[in-house]
Every structure is written in structure tokens, then in C-alpha cells.
């Protein structure tokens, strides 16, 4: 599901400009288009992994590093017993999760993000936050979305 990256994308205006979340889906589309244009450093109309990492405040390597396939590593503890630990370069690592969200947002699979793909992900996030489906985020819905964004920033921060 694209919701993780979508929430991060919706957080751009909140975290970088200290603005409130847009209250309408059109507002989300507009805000994402503005931040997309600012993130598109080479002006090619696409966000590559490095540009996306930069705008979201990740180390470039988080989205550009090659990942191991194995989520866990089997180690031998000092007492000689086997111990399973999280592979820090695997698919369940912080970078692996960011990579998975990036790939999920990249709907056409070309390795870059278009403004339409970013807006589609933002729209999905908006629709999930708009619990009464009236097209407007009321205060309670906005606060719930901000909490999700806060949780996401702790996962990827």
C-alpha cells in the first residue's frame, strides 16, 4: 500500500513550511505539485530516488543502496546459542521499508516518480483520512492524519 510514502509526501508542507495539512483533495494535489516541482532538481518532471530521499530528509543511501534479500541474520550469541537479528540492510530495515514504499508509489515501475504518481498516493492518503468521505478534512480527521504522519516520521526519522 502506498499510504506510508503518501503520508510522508503529505507531510512535506507540514514539516518544511510549518503549514497545516490541506483540507481538500484539490488542496493536497496542489501542495504536492508545488513540493514536487521544488524537489525535481534536474527539472525533468520525474523524481529519482536521490531527489526523493533529499526532499523527505533521508540520507541518499536510504533509497539508493542495494538491499539484501534476507530480512534476518542468524548469529551466534556469546553464550553459543543461535540468535536471529534484523538484517540492517534487508527489506525490513528502515531503508528497506522506504525502498518498498518508493517502489509501491512508482505505479508504472520505471524507477522514478511522476507528479501524477505522487498525487495518486497523496489522494489515497487523503481518502483514508477523510473518514466521512465528504471531500473535506475536518479538525478531527486532520489531527488523526497528523498523528499518522508523526508515527511515520518516527519509523523513518
pLDDT at 93: 82
Query: Is 60 exceeded by the pLDDT of residue 40?
Result: yes
Query: Is 60 exceeded by the pLDDT of residue 13?
Result: no
pLDDT in tens, 120-157: 988 888 888 888 999 888 888 888 877 776 655 555 55
CA 31 to the chain's CA centroid = 15
pLDDT at 91: 86
Q: Looking at per-residue confidence, does 144 or 83 come out higher?
A: 83
Contacts of 7 (CB under 8 A, 6+ apart): 125, 145, 148, 149, 152
Q: Which of 32-36, 44-48, 92-96, 126-130 has the highest mean pLDDT?
A: 44-48
Amino acid at each position: 500500500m502506498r499510504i506510508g510514502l503518501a503520508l510522508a509526501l503529505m507531510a512535506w508542507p507540514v514539516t518544511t513550511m510549518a503549514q497545516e495539512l490541506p483540507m481538500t483533495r484539490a488542496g493536497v494535489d496542489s501542495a504536492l505539485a508545488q513540493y514536487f516541482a521544488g524537489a525535481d532538481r534536474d527539472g525533468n518532471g520525474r523524481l529519482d530516488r536521490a531527489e526523493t530521499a533529499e526532499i523527505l530528509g533521508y540520507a541518499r543511501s536510504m533509497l539508493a543502496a542495494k538491499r539484501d534479500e534476507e530480512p534476518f541474520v542468524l548469529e551466534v550469541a556469546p553464550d553459543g546459542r543461535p540468535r536471529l537479528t534484523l538484517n540492517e540492510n534487508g527489506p525490513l530495515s528502515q531503508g528497506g521499508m522506504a525502498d518498498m514504499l518508493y517502489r509501491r508509489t512508482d505505479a508504472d515501475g520505471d524507477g522514478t516518480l511522476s507528479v501524477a504518481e505522487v498525487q495518486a498516493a497523496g489522494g489515497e492518503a487523503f481518502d483514508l483520512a477523510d473518514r466521512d468521505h465528504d471531500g473535506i478534512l475536518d479538525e478531527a480527521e486532520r489531527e488523526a492524519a497528523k498523528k499518522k504522519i508523526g508515527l511515520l516520521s518516527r519509523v523513518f526519522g
